[in-house]
Amino acid sequence: MCECYNKKRGLSMEIIQLGAEYLEEVYELSNQLENEQLDYEGFKRCYFEIMSLSNHLLYGVKKERLIGFIHLRVEQQLHHASLVVEILELVIDDKHRSQKYGKRLLDFAVNYSKSIQASHIELSSNQFRRRAHQFYNREGFIETSVKFVKKL
């Protein structure tokens, strides 16, 4: 757990590891991320399966309640010939965006990645999320790939 204080806005917050008790809040934030109402039962199954996997990490930003979360996957990748951390989801509640909470989660992920000697930290972002792209560029991420998806 990391306790932090935002001097500019005077907001206290902490970064916490997420458990079963945060299912509802993570579900609501995921709906914001995808801009749609996700199937709750399917989401619940995924959430608990992810929590059981040793190479997946879920951390959140908590004030009075959870206001954002990050989901990381850690794995060896042949095309990097090394350990890589991938950010699978990163979302901050729309009422708390542009207040440095996303940066705090991203910094947490980068520091964690360095601590386990990962060679890269990477992510994919929907092409329509222009503000997110600006954020990642500002934080030192560069575009190197194009992601292809086929819905089944």
- Identify any residues that bridge with 56 across adjacent strands, giving them in sequence order: 73
Contact criterion met (CB below 8 Å) for 122 and 28: no
- pLDDT for the residue numbered 11: 57
Say what the pTM is: 0.89
Contact criterion met (CB below 8 Å) for 59 and 108: yes
Task: Report how far residue 152's alpha carbon sits from residue 149's, in angstroms, rounded to the nearest whole number.
Answer: 9
Measured in degrees and rounded to the nearest 5, phi and psi for residue 149 equal -135, 140
Task: Report how far residue 69's alpha carbon sits from residue 92's, in angstroms, rounded to the nearest whole number.
Answer: 7
Query: With bands split at pLDDT 50, 70 and 90, how would you rate the model's confidence at 3?
Result: very low
Average pLDDT over residues 10-30: 91
Residue 131 three-state SS: helix
Task: Report how far residue 27's alpha carbon sits from residue 47's, in angstroms, rounded to the nearest whole number.
Answer: 9
pLDDT in tens, 75-115: 999 999 999 999 999 999 999 999 999 999 999 999 999 99
Ramachandran quadrant class, 41 (left: phi over 0; alpha: psi -120 to 50; beta: rest): alpha
Using CA of residue 125, residue 144, residue 98, residue 131, what is the dihedral sign?
negative
Contact criterion met (CB below 8 Å) for 8 and 98: no
Contact criterion met (CB below 8 Å) for 5 and 12: yes
- Residue 120: closest CA among 56, 55, 75, 70: 75
- Identify any residues that bridge with 4 across adjacent strands, giving them in sequence order: 13
pLDDT in tens, 43-72: 999 999 999 999 999 999 999 899 999 999
